[in-house]
Chain A
């Protein structure tokens, strides 16, 4: 490693990364604080463990920075296969915690392979798209990519951990960058919209809304081009109704009640603050009570009273909101924004497609966690239990995201070294 290399490292990114991890440790400490707890450096406590994982991450990160970048491209497929094997292995050796078999028990701590499978998958997709013959406009390439994504997705759904599986939609982002037709995104978002419309209203009302939207879109497009015909819209309308019917059926007959409840709370159908909506409500109360400056470190009354469940993991942002107020929340959101955009800007400078796709994948994964987790904590997205990267308590999550960041840093620092 030359001085040159150290100079070329993206230190701003490293600072933001360290900032977020330290914010995480401080707030995990606060969220799990009891009067008897002495030190943040007590490794038997959650905050101490998290600190330990930061050291491990930095140690492994330093090793990663020393690895020749050529290695990663060769390593892509095998890392993917390792990930898949680890996921399959869960069904035989996994530890079941609150209904999901998602962990390997390694004595002192647990390992969650679905976190690391994200790296393997990102590698695999990057490796495949990095090849010259791949082209997302071709259905063969597209199908292969979907296949690579579907394998871990299904394995994780089967754990069952649908929240972690949903994260794989993050790969829309590198795929769109590399030429995936936007129509797929539009179809995906339309289906999502249809899904929520169907659940928010009665079936008859939903059909009416869908009809009106389809017709309005038709009229707008007609203005731009008179060649637009009406029959594709009628077809879309009919398919939409069919989808709506099936959503209605799936929701009421195939979903479990807890899934229905979570979605109902967000679309405002359920207002039961002590029952289903309890978590979200408590989280909103905690954040709302923070005001501009917050109540201060260890001063959050909601946090101390343990009103918000899972506060050190999925709801860590509510601790930040309560104790550090709007300023704290704003800073964290800002840092995530800068982190993601900075990764993209650097990725754009890559001349290797492999490395660009990988960095895009990292950014996409961080983004979707950020979007779902904070959105959930603020009561804007259904309750999906996934951690906030770098901040939520969880060694596997911190380690996996750290490794992604360090691999990206390595790629970035070495982008001029190739060929």
Chain B
């Protein structure tokens, strides 16, 4: 086990007695739970920065602080542009902000623990964020104590450089953070600076990134979406729930918003546009228009078949709205998902539905509607037009909660139905 602070005082020597000062180590960060050191960077006596594959290492001597390689001259010169793609332990990781997943918080990597492997390989094993680590750094390694209990296993650490354009979209599918629930990822994303959060979202698989983005405070959403390329941003809007996408897209510059709306698939952009027609403080401004409906004439079995595809997309699927027919969409009643599964196959929907359904008007005040919804103890109410009773959306309880309760730490309220 070697601490980076100690390792950085080493000299690199070869069999011909040449010597150079070790300056940094590069790692293949996303390749494994404990990334391997791939290259070393050192400074020659002429002050030239060179890099050499770690496979050239023949021996490591901790006592004399030496690393033995075959031939120092086999090293290549270090071009600054090349370095950009690598992750360097001293330049990038040391002192950087890291996410400690076990404790769900951020901390700083004051020192790094490297583990020796066979054939003198080294891999990054743990982070030391303790006060002792800072003392060790300042004392140039003379203070040697390592408190095992204060080390963070690298497997449960996420490291972000703060450079969203420097990472490949979706490349972090192996990251442990992807296993956390969306709310916790969003919480962690709100602890780090916005560029780091943007980088994190770029690394996540798209659907998960969209879920996390939706959950962040709206100002943070705006900061992050502006860091994305147009293609990535459009993808996010495509995957977000339409009402939340509408909230975010409304905050962008009109020209940008228009461009994104035109690039989205037609169905999706129509949904968002239709929500944008309503003012923020109305039911239309908080409802979602992504709901499941079926004609009352269908039998339960037919409905189950027909709805198989539509059921895949929306967030809210608990209620299936029963309508006259697909075009006029006059609301007749509602049937729960449970009923769809247990009712007799041959009954028609209009026989088993609950016919007395209260509904909201899209121009009603959102807060009044929120109280009304909370009072009915239902988890959602349909939104219909005043004249024709046409189904245009549904207001769910999780949209109502933020309107009645004070803000819950800035997050976009409790997400029950997504």
Q: Do A and B come from one complex?
A: no
Hey, which bits of chain A sit against chain B, CB under 8 A?
Answer: none
